[in-house]
């Protein structure tokens, strides 16, 4: 699993929640908030990305995430740890 692949999965889950958004504009340094996601949207994007990666990470681990890169980092680390 590469960082690019995880980023693509996160983008896909963003697309499922923020369906009006042009995904080609989404960059790792963007925060989900600035893309227009409210607190519930942000949680759902995180949960969907975890599901697509078959990961089960306690949600509170994502409490300090400030941008998409931060989300990708946690998912990638956990995916690698899971083998």
Partner 1 sequence: MAVGIEAMNLYGGSMFVDVRSIFEGRGLDLDRFDNLMMVRKAMVLPCEDPVTNAVNAAKPILDRLSEEEKNSIELLITATESGIDFGKSLSTYVHEYLGLSRHCRLFEVKQACYGGTAAFQMAANFVASQASPGAKALVIATDVSRTTERMSYAEPSQGEGAVAMLVSDRPQLFELDFGANGLYSYEVFDTCRPRPDVELGDPDLSLLSYLECLENTYRNYTEKVEGADFLETFDYLAFHTPFAGMVKGAHRKMMRQLYKMGGREIEADFQKRVAPSLKYCEEVGNVYAATVYFALSGLIDHAPIDEEMRIGIFSYGSGCSSEFFSGVVSPEAKKALSRMRIKEQLDARYSLSFEEYDKLIDMNKEWTFGIQDKAVDLSGCQTMYDHAMAGKRRLILKQIKDFHREYVWS
Of the pair 7, 62, the CB lying nearest partner 1 is at 62
Q: What is the phi-psi region of residue 54: left when phi exceeds 0, alpha when psi lies from -120 to 50, beta otherwise? A: left
Question: Nearest distance from residue 36's CB to partner 1, in Å?
Answer: 8
Of the pair 38, 77, the CB lying nearest partner 1 is at 38
Of the pair 2, 54, the CB lying nearest partner 1 is at 54
Residues that bind partner 1 (CB under 8 A): 38-40, 42-44, 47, 58-60, 62-64
Question: Nearest distance from residue 14's CB to partner 1, in Å?
Answer: 16
What CA–CA distance (Å, rounded) separates 59 from 15? 20
Q: Which two tokens stand for residue 23?
A: 């995904």
CA dihedral 65, 43, 36, 14 (to 10 degrees): 100
């Amino acid at each position: 699993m590469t960082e690019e692949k995880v980023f693509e999965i996160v983008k896909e889950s963003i697309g499922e929640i923020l369906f009006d958004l042009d995904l080609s504009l989404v960059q790792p340094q963007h925060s989900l908030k600035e893309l227009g996601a409210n607190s519930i949207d942000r949680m759902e994007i995180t949960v969907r990305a975890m599901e697509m990666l078959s990961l089960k990470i306690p949600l509170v681990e994502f409490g300090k995430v400030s941008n998409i890169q931060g989300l990708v980092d946690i998912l990638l680390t956990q995916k690698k740890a899971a083998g």
